[in-house]
Amino acid sequence: MTEADLPTVMAIERATFPFDAWSEGMMRGELGDQPRTRHYVVAVVDDVIVGYAGLAAAADQADVQTIAVLESHQGTGVGGAMLAELLAEARRRGAREIFLEVRSDNPRARGVYERFGFEEIGLRRRYYDDGTDAIMMRRKLDG
């Protein structure tokens, strides 16, 4: 992802997370830390950006910062492809485990993460502004 991608990325962000979208400044800040601690990718289908995902990595740990796919393209493998790229990049950077948080009321995302080997390691009660719990997940990368 580059700054030139921001208008499209922010449109997807606002459509996907209507109640808790990141601001453009937050997204720009993440890009500003590439490639030092961040790795952000976009998914392109027929020359159009249909999704994006971001990784934070430091020392031997990494986090999935965000991932979103345009609703019209969900369920076609785009999210899985981006997640695979984040896992590969985390490994390239020497991470031994990767973490993420997901809303407890988001079964599709939880299903994708489980398919990629993430395991539930904890619960953050009422983590989100609307009172929904966050499930904390981890995937070990060594071996």
Ligand X SMILES: CC(C)(COP(=O)(O)OP(=O)(O)OC[C@H]1O[C@@H](n2cnc3c(N)ncnc32)[C@H](O)[C@@H]1OP(=O)(O)O)[C@@H](O)C(=O)NCCC(=O)NCCS
- Where on the chain is the footprint of ligand X (CB under 6 A)? 16, 67-69, 74-80, 102, 106, 108-109, 111-112, 115
CA 82, CA 39: separation in Å to the nearest integer? Answer: 11
Phi first, then psi: what are they for 29, rounded to 5°? -60, -40
Question: In this complex, which beta carbon is closest to ligand X, that of residue 1 or of residue 109?
Answer: 109
Question: In this complex, which beta carbon is closest to ligand X, that of residue 88 or of residue 94?
Answer: 88
Number of other residues whose CB lies within 10 A of the CB of residue 45: 13
Minimum distance, C-beta of residue 136 to ligand X, in the bound complex (Å): 11
CA 131, CA 104: separation in Å to the nearest integer? Answer: 11
Question: In this complex, which beta carbon is closest to ligand X, that of residue 31 or of residue 81?
Answer: 81
Minimum distance, C-beta of residue 52 to ligand X, in the bound complex (Å): 9
